[in-house]
Structure 1
Amino acid sequence: MTLLKRFLVPWLLILTLGCQLDDGRPLRVATNLWPGYEPLYLAQYLGVFGKNVEVIQLSSATEVMRAMAHGNLDVAALTLDEVISLMAQGVELEPILVMDYSRGGDAVVTLNDQFESLSGLRVGVENTALGAIVLTEALQQQGIATADIEVVSVSPDDHERALSDGVVDAVVTFEPRLTRLLAMGGKVLFDTRQAPELVVDVLVARKASVASQPGKIKHLVEGYFEARKYMTSHHSESEVFFSKRLKLEKKQLQQAFQGLYLPTLEDSKNWFTGQPSPYQKSFQRVLEVMLSHELVEGDPQAENPPAWLLEVSG
């Protein structure tokens, strides 16, 4: 029996969250690979969700958005700009909780330590609004025009190869790839510590799913925070689990998590409280940036979660 599994039986007894849940298929939840989403996978591994929630990892945020747009998911973990993009396409979404703030977890990295700025570089970036927003912020802070760089479309899975093979001079990347690139000798030219609330990850659900499966939505949120408690009380065991999933050594894992802040349940509730709430203010700020750079059309409006969801206990 592994060290981690030795702790599971008593915890599974503690983590029983009740049985008054919706019948039928499990709630379908998807994410891409990102440290801030890992508590969802820990909760699933611990058995907290039971048969009520299924969490799956897709290859990229683009794939998660596509699945959400096509109606193949109930819930998705996305950055705020990705939420805005989907809503602008007519996908009706409601926020469930704020998962993390990127504070250094998104960055522009090069393997050439001679580069001091992005001027004149070939910069690889995923074809998403998030990549464009991070790159735009980096250029603005360095006083560089978009015309002064060459933008190259590079998927996240190709970040390391594209840099090491010289296909690009720098990439807009994120954890855990950021830590791997730094281990290869990478140099950060910009990161979100310089714009601490630029990248926010939220868990959102289809409005129809919230209306038809409120019990499972509540179960999802409660289970997520039970996993967060487990991370605190069984820190070493949680690190083992995350290291295997993220393919990072212990020191690299700690470095990856240093680049983001995981809000408490109270933080999340406060973020969705008020008119306008901090969530609505952040939503509007990101929307304005996207509109100014023609990254989105329309005028989607942010709504706070239903009141009953803010009463969930963790």
Structure 2
Amino acid sequence: MLTRRQFTKNLFALSALSSVPLLSSCEKTGALRIGIHPWVGYESLYLAEESGELPNKVKLVKTQGNAENLALLSTGEIDGGTFTVDEVLLARSQGIPLVIVMLFDISAGADQVLTKTGGPIKAGNTVAYEPSAVGTLLFYLALERQGLTPKDVFGVRLAPSYQLNSWLGGELDAAITYEPHASKLKAAGAKEWINSRQFPDTITDTLAVRADRLPQFELTLRELIKTHFKIIEAMRINPDNYLYRIASHQEITYNQAKQGLAGIILPSILRNYELLAERSGFRTRIAEINILMTEEKLIPQADNLENLILTDYLPVPAGA
């Protein structure tokens, strides 16, 4: 499945374990352990492993979702992983010194706001949205677009995987969701109003690593990131070859894989530098997510955002 963002609030119980990294045999032998789960935006790493291009000292620890990634991170069983920004902030609130070192992808249509008519959300509507910081942010942005506030509608915190049943039961007027769940809702009669293209740089998937592991894995991390960019360039040149392989990995159809890739942007090396720059729109979105997570009590207090992003491990852009 393409599921990537999981509700993380229930992981606060793990915070007591977060400050005690465990030394496994992988760490002793110098393997950089990266937690990863099925999502089309992370396919570069799966493809690199399949083709033998993954750096020798990288071990992909495959999970079913980011909730599991966060759990493994808290017990020291992985050194980093694939996370959305809100999950990075959650981990940091638990004492895990995560640092964003690269952006995998940006949602550009994969996240959608669906309504019964395809028209805008109206006052009094019942609106389902994912119970996460990113889901809440999209909920607020969609309402803001119509001059509404959360008090003007009935907001329902409901994971995308559960929205279809509520839609079929006539309980919802609108749903904020993402692929492949969006396609299922459309098949049930929902129509797209807007999507994440209207909110650029808002939903991003990152590669984040513990700051206290960076010195140990400096060369390996550089190799891993370089491999990612090599693979996505090959995907750009010969997409069909990779789409069939992605479909096989994800256990989906070729068309679903194509649709999934069409809904995201895979930023280049140069675009990574631009997005991660000090005064970028991406940084502004992080600040907004940080405030929302605090207000929604997803984290006990706002992150100071210091040492959150490090571009030192990105390759030098061509022509620089």
The offset of 1:96, in angstroms, is 1.4
1:74 aligns with 2:79: yes
RMSD: 3.1
Contact 1:34 1:175 in 2 (8 A): no
Amino acid at match of 1:283: I
Partner of residue 310, structure 1: 314
Separation in 2 of the partners of 1:106 and 1:283?
18
Correspondence for 2:146:
142
Q: 1:93 aligns with which of 94, 98, 102?
A: 98
Give the drift of 1:46. Answer: 1.7
CA contact 1:35–1:176 (8 Å) conserved in 2: no
Q: Is the 8 A contact 2:113 2:194 kept in 1?
A: yes
Is contact 2:107-2:204 (8 Å) kept? yes
Give the alignment's TM-score, normalised by structure 1. 0.77
| Partners of 1:108 and 1:306 in 2: CA distance | 33
Show the counterpart of 2:114. 109
Alpha-carbon offset, residue 174 of structure 1: 1.6
1:37 aligns with 2:42: yes
Specify every segment of 5 or more residues in structure 2 that has no aligned partner in the other structure, as ranges: 1-26
- For the 8 Å contact 1:222–1:313, the answer to whether it is kept is no
Equivalent in the alignment of 2:22:
none
> Offset at 1:240?
0.5
Q: Does 1:28 align with 2:33?
A: yes
Q: What does residue range 232-251 of structure 1 map to in structure 2 within 5 Å?
A: 232-251=236-255
C-alpha distance in structure 2 between counterparts of 1:235 and 1:67, whole Å:
33
Q: Which has the larger displacement, 26-35 or 95-104?
A: 26-35
Where 1:95 maps in the other structure, the secondary structure is strand
Aligned position for 2:63: 58
CA deviation map 1:55-87 (0-9, x unaligned): 345334333334333433222222223222322
State the AA in 1 paired with 2:261: F
* CA distance in 2: counterparts of 1:62 and 1:193, whole angstroms: 26
Matched, 1:46 2:51: yes
- Please name the residue that 2:268 is paired with: 264
Q: Retained in 1: the 8 A contact 2:118–2:190?
A: no
In structure 2, the CA distance between the partners of 1:239 and 1:183, relative to structure 1 (3 Å rule), is farther
Q: For each residue in 1:106-145, what CA deviation from the matched residue of structure 2 results, as whole angstroms up to 9, or x when unmatched?
A: 12224x3377425434333332211111112112222333
TM value normalised by structure 2:
0.76
Measure, in 2, the Cα distance between the counterparts of 1:139 and 1:32: 31
Q: 1:286 and 1:207 mapped to 2: Cα distance?
A: 21
- Alpha-carbon distance in 2 for matches of 1:108, 1:278: 22
8 Å contact kept, 2:55–2:220: no
Measured in 2, the distance between the counterparts of 1:251 and 1:114 equals 23
CA distance in 2, matches of 1:313, 1:193: 26
1:191 aligned residue (172, 180, 195): 195
Q: How far did 1:271 drift?
A: 3.3
Residue 283, structure 1, aligned to residue 286, structure 2: yes
* CA distance 1:132–1:268, shift in 2 (3 Å): same
How much has 1:92 moved relative to structure 2? Answer: 0.5
Measured in 2, the distance between the counterparts of 1:145 and 1:43 equals: 45
Structure 1 pair 197/277, CA: closer, same or farther in 2 (3 Å)? Answer: closer
Deviation at 1:311, TM superposition (A): 4.1
Q: Which moved more, 1:187-196 or 1:54-63?
A: 54-63
Using the TM superposition, give the Cα deviation of residue 204 of structure 1 relative to its aligned residue in structure 2, in angstroms.
Answer: 0.7
| Corresponding residue number in structure 2 for 1:154 | 158
Percent sequence identity is 24
Q: Which runs of 5+ in 1 are unaligned?
A: 1-21
